Amino acid sequence: MAKQGQGGLGGLDGGDGEAGKVGGDVPISEEVIWKARAEEAQEQVAQLEARVAELEGELASANASVSAVERRGQIDLELMAAKAIDLETARLLTEATIAEMDSPDVAVAVRELCERKPFLFACKKPSVHQGVSMGPAMVRGEDDELEMMASNARSSGDRSELLRYLRVRRGQ
């Protein structure tokens, strides 16, 4: 026989019997209470798992952004070392070359770009199409030197400067 305040469980519900009642009259079994708690915990776990998945996606996106910025910095350094004239165009072409590579290497991609499109770089290597003989640029360089020697001889009035100028001019 259960007492009025014990909820019919004979004091086995772990309390004074009031927690096991709804509205004070209908007893609720402990199994139902634990089942409700388990369902709430499962809902919280599902919410937390969704939040973790969302944060992992954000982390992956941030990591991709960081690696893209680092790669862009590496590309810019390599292009500046190669003396690129149009940095933006060269960067875009280098990124396209890197995207096609199996194992991305910035230095290799810049070298390939320099070979394929030498007009993008200030210090071009002489190509097969250019002549091997001395061009007008070399003659102009010697003429400039000769003019400078003549100017020095004129302005200084020193005979040794004048003789040096005349010897160089005669040697041509």
Residue pLDDT, tens place only, 2-38: 444 444 444 444 455 445 555 556 677 888 999 999 9
pLDDT band at 46 (very low <50, low <70, confident <90, very high): very high
At residue 20, the pLDDT reads 52
The answer to whether residues 59 and 71 touch, using CB atoms and an 8 Å cutoff, is: no
Cβ burial, residue 109 (10 Å; 0-12/13-18/19+): buried
Least confident of 57-66, 67-76, 137-146, 161-170: 137-146
Phi, psi (degrees; rounded to nearest 5) at 9: -100, 0
At residue 23, the pLDDT reads 55
pTM score over 0.75:
no
Query: Which is more confidently placed, 88 or 128?
Result: 88
At residue 22, the pLDDT reads 52
The answer to whether residues 145 and 138 touch, using CB atoms and an 8 Å cutoff, is: no
For residue 84, the 8-state DSSP code is B
Residues 103-123 have pLDDT tens digits of 888 999 999 998 999 888 886
CA distance 26 to 10: 15
Residues 52-80 have pLDDT tens digits of 999 999 999 999 999 999 999 999 999 99
The mean predicted confidence, pLDDT, of the chain is 79
Angle at 97 between CA 103 and CA 84, to 5 degrees: 120
pLDDT band at 172 (very low <50, low <70, confident <90, very high): low
Q: Any idea where the domains of the chain sit in the sequence?
A: 20-120, 136-171
Per-residue H/E/C for 115-162: HHCHHHECCCCCCCCCCCCCCHHHHHHHHHHHHHHHHHHHHHCCHHHH
